Amino acid sequence: MGGSKNVFAAVKSYSKRGKLLKNADFQTLAESRDLDELMTRIKNTSYGESISEVEKPYTSQGIENALRGHLADIHYSIAKTAGESKVLDAYFSKFLISNLKQILKGKVLGKSQEDIEIHINFRAEELTKQRDVVVKALVAGDLEEAVASLNQAEFGEEISKAAALYEDKKNIQIFDTYFDKILFTRLVKALKSGGIDAGKIIGMDIDFYNILSVIRGKFWGLDDAQIQDLIIVQCPVAKDLLTRMISASTIKDAFNELSNTKYKNLIPSVENELDAISEFERAFELAIYQASLNSFTKMFSFATTIGITKLTAFEVRNLAAIAYAVEQKIPTETTMSKLILMTE
């Protein structure tokens, strides 16, 4: 990536960071009595324009879709400013992957095309001219047809594996993990192309995927070979650790393998396995969020560009969670405790 473009992208990232919402802003939004009030309050933030086309009667899904379209625009504009970057391209593919997750899981649940389409935002695919990939899967009659429509895609093989494993285990989250594998495989390949000073955040992202895949695989009752197929190994140290985690007899023992690593403070303390997985997931995401904030300590670094990509994604996720909570009348305190926020 060229030096001047790097500087320009970093300046743009700093400017965006200055516009991020504060904890108090999230609190105000979460206190909205209904979606009408929430929309009025969002219109007074930097997200006002992005939701201007959401039509009444408001739904949390409609608001989330508009926000996701806006996020795609932000990430596309950052990537364009930074010039050719395989890493940013890999991160951008999460929009396509998120849509394909929704479609395949919708097909599994026997949802109609209309029901699935509510959850899809095509903005990213329009920007990268990949809309037809998503549409083909969407109009497919069932899961088998949707999987077949993706055969020619570079990740067709992984999707076929996910479908086969789903048939065996009947756990819909298997699709999430295999689609995440596609994203992180792209990221690892991009990292290997070298010259990147954002290794810390990207490395954490890949570690997060690998560790969580092992833990989830154990929770779903996958055998060792099936779990090994999920992980993406970057280095011998990681491979050794993950193999020990796979061999551990319980999920608790697997987590304890992290006690000699930089992630020792993230080991969950609760006994219930499902709660432990949720606790670990949240702790790791907060650590990634903090690392993204810390990326701004080094001026004109590519790390700030990755940092703002992550921070804006967390911000939109928080806003979508608030919209859902307001719609469902979930208490403000509960909502705030679930968000990924700066510790004050």
Tokens for 82, please give them.
């930074």
- pLDDT greater than 70 at residue 169: yes
Query: How far apart are the C-alpha atoms of 312 and 115, rounded to whole Å?
Result: 28
pLDDT at 97: 96
Q: What mean pLDDT is predicted for residues 2-10?
A: 72
Q: What mean pLDDT is predicted for residues 140-164?
A: 94
Query: How far apart are the C-alpha atoms of 161 and 174, rounded to whole Å?
Result: 10
Query: How far apart are the C-alpha atoms of 77 and 241, rounded to whole Å?
Result: 38
Quick check: helix, strand or coil at residue 263?
coil
How many other C-beta atoms can be found within 10 angstroms of the C-beta atom of residue 230?
A: 25
Angle (CA) 253-254-256 rounded to 5° is: 60
- To the question of pTM greater than 0.75 for the whole model, the response is yes
Residue whose entry in the numeric block shows the structure tokens 């802003």: 25
Query: How far apart are the C-alpha atoms of 92 and 315, rounded to whole Å?
Result: 16
pLDDT digits (tens, 9 = 90+) for 273-311: 999 999 999 999 999 999 999 998 877 788 899 999 999
Q: Closest Cα to residue 325, out of 33, 25, 17, 13?
A: 33
Peptide bond into 268 cis (omega under 30): no
pLDDT at 2: 52
Return the exposure string of 240-275: e unless at least 16 CB atoms fall within 10 Å of the residue's CB, then b.
ebbbebbebeebeebbebbeeeebeebbbeeeebee
pLDDT at 299: 76
Q: What mean pLDDT is predicted for residues 247-272?
A: 97
Query: How far apart are the C-alpha atoms of 211 and 217, rounded to whole Å?
Result: 10
pLDDT digits (tens, 9 = 90+) for 28-60: 999 999 999 999 999 999 999 999 999 999 999
Query: 93 and 184 in contact (C-beta within 8 Å)?
Result: no
Quick check: helix, strand or coil at residue 261?
coil
Query: 293 and 210 in contact (C-beta within 8 Å)?
Result: no
Query: 130 and 96 in contact (C-beta within 8 Å)?
Result: yes
Q: Where are the beta strands (DSSP E) in the chain?
A: none
pLDDT at 1: 43
Q: Provide the H-helix boundaries in the chain.
A: 3-18, 23-30, 35-42, 60-82, 86-108, 113-117, 123-128, 131-139, 143-149, 156-169, 173-192, 199-219, 224-230, 236-247, 251-256, 273-294, 302-327, 332-338
Query: How far apart are the C-alpha atoms of 237 and 203, rounded to whole Å?
Result: 13
DSSP state of 83: -
Query: How far apart are the C-alpha atoms of 123 and 73, rounded to whole Å?
Result: 8
pLDDT digits (tens, 9 = 90+) for 58-99: 999 999 999 999 999 999 999 998 888 899 999 999 999 999
Tokens for 263, please give them.
């992630």
DSSP state of 54: P
One-letter amino acid for residue 55 of the chain? E
Instruction: Quickly list DSSP for 198-253.
Output: -HHHHHHHHHHHHHHHHHHHHHTT--HHHHHHH----SHHHHHHHHHHHH-SSHHH
